[in-house]
């Protein structure tokens, strides 16, 4: 219907009739209303859940405190009010969460009592069931719970997951195995074919750091693994635990095709190297690109000496300004008369060597 011009022909309206657009608008309004209701409902549910969680926390608080106080107690009695809670699955999950959180904060008998409690309440079954869930985040949750709660009887099942194609499942499984068996748990490195992310490596190193060192059985094998991330991780282990016996394998990693491995190899060798390592690094230097060159110059102060003076003087003249500065630092720090060489250079060619000299001098003075 044309309101103002009766002769006007609206072809658009023939194909996209106003009624269609109005109908769509009505649908949009209905959807909007549904979303608004859902939003307020979510707010309500979240609030309710929060209250429920708080009430459980309150109930558990006294009980867990009792467990903590009765450190010598062998068994743990379940209060009736808490037994009632277990009829609801969400309450069981909240209890698991609470126990997992507490378990991470305690050691010794208290920690053991928390595990006993978890077992006694049958919560280990809940966690085990999660392993068979097809949703990977639920699987992760189950592995995490079993790992923290030291459910070693699940090793066979969890170990399979250490080489799962799902990154998150793999990470949790590797962590759990390490939590259960410490350094021996690293045996998954023998078989893992998927990458171990830097974050996971960092997590595993941190877990190991809290345990007494019991040695590595196959560090040399891991350093020659076909999985680059295993090599990288093994190099970090060698560096952190100063495993000088794998010096040769670490040296070979300087030729590794993966730059990240070579970078880590330099760091490791600077820690476990012998008298020839500095020369080895200077030889590797020319084959590297900027990142690892700078890395080598940053690590050299730990092992360099007068033998590297000629190499360092060459670097002072060549390449990038960052590399010049890094070379100057090593020269001043590790060689006799290094500072004098720099000073002479600063008079000779003030730009940029005067500033480099002053920088190094100021740093040495601090």
- Binding interface with another protein (CB under 8 A): 1-5, 8-13, 16, 18-22, 24-25, 28-29, 31-32, 35-36, 38-40, 42-43, 46-47, 137, 140-141, 144, 167-168, 195, 197-199, 201-203, 205-206, 229, 236, 290-291, 320-322, 325, 352, 355-356, 358-359, 361-362, 366
State the minimum distance, in angstroms, from the CB of residue 42 to another protein. 5
State the minimum distance, in angstroms, from the CB of residue 312 to another protein. 16
- Count Cα neighbours of 316 within 13 Å in the Cβ-side half-sphere: 28
* Residue 139: both structure tokens together: 């699987």
Comparing CB distances to another protein, the nearer of 31 and 191 is: 31
Comparing CB distances to another protein, the nearer of 142 and 273 is: 142
State the minimum distance, in angstroms, from the CB of residue 364 to another protein. 11
* Residue 183: both structure tokens together: 């350094």
State the minimum distance, in angstroms, from the CB of residue 200 to another protein. 8
* Torsion angle in degrees (nearest 10) through CA of 107, 113, 118, 119: 120
State the minimum distance, in angstroms, from the CB of residue 187 to another protein. 22
Q: What is the distance, to the nearest Å, from the Cα of residue 96 to the centroid of all Cα atoms in its chain?
A: 24
Comparing CB distances to another protein, the nearer of 82 and 185 is: 185
Asked if residues 115 and 103 have their Cβ atoms less than 8 Å apart, the reply is yes
Cis bond leading into 352, ω under 30°? Answer: yes
Comparing CB distances to another protein, the nearer of 40 and 347 is: 40
Comparing CB distances to another protein, the nearer of 25 and 255 is: 25
CA 278 to each of CA 69, 231, 247, 271, 341: distance values in angstroms, whole numbers, following the listed order: 56, 21, 13, 11, 20
Comparing CB distances to another protein, the nearer of 306 and 363 is: 363
State the minimum distance, in angstroms, from the CB of residue 69 to another protein. 28
* Residue 221: both structure tokens together: 């094998």
Comparing CB distances to another protein, the nearer of 246 and 325 is: 325
State the minimum distance, in angstroms, from the CB of residue 362 to another protein. 4
Q: Quick one: which of 186, 192, 179 has its CA closest to 229? A: 192
Comparing CB distances to another protein, the nearer of 3 and 107 is: 3
Asked if residues 161 and 179 have their Cβ atoms less than 8 Å apart, the reply is no
Residue count (the chain): 366
38 CB neighbour count, 10 Å cutoff: 10
Helices of type H across the chain: 11-15, 18-69, 80-85, 89-105, 108-120, 123-131, 136-148, 155-161, 167-181, 198-209, 219-222, 228-240, 247-252, 259-272, 277-285, 290-299, 309-317, 321-334, 338-348, 350-365
State the minimum distance, in angstroms, from the CB of residue 122 to another protein. 22
């Amino acid at each position: 219907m044309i309101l103002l011009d009766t002769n006007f022909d609206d072809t658009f309206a023939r194909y996209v009739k106003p009624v269609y657009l109005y109908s769509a608008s009505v649908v949009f309004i209905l959807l909007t209303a549904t979303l608004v209701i859902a939003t307020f409902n979510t707010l309500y549910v979240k609030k309710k859940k929060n209250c429920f969680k708080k009430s459980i926390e309150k109930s558990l608080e006294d009980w867990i405190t009792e467990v903590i106080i009765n450190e010598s107690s062998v068994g743990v009695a379940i209060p009736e009010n808490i037994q009632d809670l277990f009829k609801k699955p969400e309450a069981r999950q909240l209890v698991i969460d609470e126990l997992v959180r507490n378990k991470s904060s305690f050691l010794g008998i208290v920690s053991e009592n928390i595990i006993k409690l978890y077992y006694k309440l049958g919560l280990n079954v809940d966690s085990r069931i999660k392993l068979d869930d097809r949703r990977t985040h639920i699987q992760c949750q189950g592995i995490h719970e079993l790992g923290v709660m030291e459910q070693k009887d699940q090793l066979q099942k969890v170990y399979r997951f250490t080489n799962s194609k799902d990154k998150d499942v793999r990470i949790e499984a590797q962590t759990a195995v390490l939590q259960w068996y410490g350094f021996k748990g690293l045996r998954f490195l023998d078989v893992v074919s998927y990458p171990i992310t830097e974050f996971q490596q960092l997590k595993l190193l941190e877990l190991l750091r809290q345990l007494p060192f019991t040695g590595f059985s196959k560090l040399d094998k891991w350093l020659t693994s076909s999985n680059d991330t295993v090599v990288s991780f093994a190099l970090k282990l060698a560096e952190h635990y100063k495993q000088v016996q794998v010096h040769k394998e670490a040296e070979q990693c300087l030729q590794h095709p993966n730059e990240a491995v070579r970078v880590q190899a330099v760091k490791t060798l600077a820690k476990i190297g012998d008298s020839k390592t500095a020369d080895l690094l200077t030889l590797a230097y020319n084959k590297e690109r900027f990142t690892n060159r700078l890395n080598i110059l940053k690590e050299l102060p730990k092992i360099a000496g007068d033998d590297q003076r000629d190499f360092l003087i060459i670097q002072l003249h060549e390449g990038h300004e960052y590399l010049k500065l890094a070379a100057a630092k090593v020269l001043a720090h590790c060689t006799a008369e290094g500072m004098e060489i720099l000073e002479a250079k600063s008079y000779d060619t003030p730009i940029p060597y005067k500033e480099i000299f002053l920088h190094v001098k100021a740093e040495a003075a601090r």
